[in-house]
Structure 1
């Protein structure tokens, strides 16, 4: 199994990044350009960010976990379609394919996050000390959440191709509803009561706890994130186990 997973990871690295002109460079440039654009826009309208005094660092704390979730869940959702030919081999299962995509993309985004945050701290000479244990907990929660959502969507988008488009429409507001721009405590109470049930807002809050020692985040509930993730993952895994051979014939 480890050899199969490694082979699948190497194959995806070659097909996903090897064919583009910039390769992994584009994966790094995407969050950097996004953070730079947000910083310029909001620095013109706001006197200071929600936490600290540095706009790029504040938006990196929200944008990086969001991009990580979005990418991993999307890659897991398309895992069977991406590696359909390999499932013809008896030694390769859909679980191997899921694990390979999760590991590769989680490691990629962890490296991207380290590069972006280190660059911001170095360029702006910020006297910050990150809580690495809190950041690691955030990365773990984001990966687990993306795995749960992606596994369920893997079945739904393979069984019902229209679901991919529906999901894309349903999740567009997540960029505004996950606390990337504003802190949870700055939102109206009515909005807080609704947005608390968005697991991503907890993940981004945990990330900011690891980057800003003074940030309390009393609303945060890692248990809620893990609970939602496990339920979605188990449901998706059960549906795939029962139906993935039939899905391959579609």
Structure 2
């Protein structure tokens, strides 16, 4: 008589992630019919607005060394939205998967991992559409150093996961923090150098703004797209990854410590 082989912990986790991914993917792509529209329309509307504003700044001349304004802004905007999705959408991941916690194999952190992974895939697809559309319109949107650009994109993805792990705990235990984070996304977009270069600011402000790891990630991503682009002084890949690894470690520790409270919340 043959005995049933027991599965390893990794096999169980992989099965859980696959099932949750399919559930989340169907919910995101089928239930919300306007989801795809807004993922594409939001950056397009912002680009149009910023191009219009730029026409009144410095007489329309290019004030970014080594890159054209529109491709520079598109790359930064897509990178920022990747991190922002990890921050914002992860806050509701635990509550959205509450019914699944009846199964002991499912943990609150699984919901965050799956949601950030899916959001990253969707944002990557949208970014590729913008790159293709930009090339068809004659914009310089093909990365000069594809490996560096890919690593920069991955770095921002991991940073967004770190923020998501931490904020998914705080927003579930203290719901008011979700509203605060939502209000901070617009100021964060400005101080991260998404729509206007940080090099335009005085040095005494710049040294404080460069404490923001998102700014380092966006500059690193742009450096991969534009070979002659002059990154903001003080940009550091090490600083970016220290933040990413620290946030992921803190987020995992919080999930382990508050696992039962998150399930019962």
TM-score in same-fold range (> 0.5): yes
146, 154, 158: which one aligns with 2:172? 158
Cross-structure match for 1:15: 27
CA deviation after TM superposition for structure 1 residue 126, in Å: 4.1
Aligned length: 250
Gaps of 5+ in 1: none
8 Å contact kept, 2:109–2:165: no
Cα deviation 1:74-112 (Å, max 9, x = unaligned): 222322111111111122222322221121111111111
78, 88, 96: which one aligns with 1:82? 96
Cross-structure match for 1:200: 214
1:1-250 to structure 2, matched below 5 A, reads 1-46=13-58, 47-51=60-64, 54-124=68-138, 126=140, 129-217=143-231, 218-250=233-265
8 Å contact kept, 2:90–2:164: yes
8 Å contact kept, 2:94–2:111: yes
Cα deviation 1:107-133 (Å, max 9, x = unaligned): 111111111122112112548553211
Cα deviation 1:18-66 (Å, max 9, x = unaligned): 1233453432232222222222222343423433674431210221111
Alpha-carbon distance in 2 for matches of 1:242, 1:15: 29
Alpha-carbon distance in 2 for matches of 1:128, 1:97: 34
Match of 2:137, SS state, is helix
8 Å contact kept, 2:101–2:108: yes
What's the TM-score once normalised by structure 1's chain length? 0.91
Q: Which has the larger radius of gyration?
A: 2
8 Å contact kept, 1:43–1:55: no
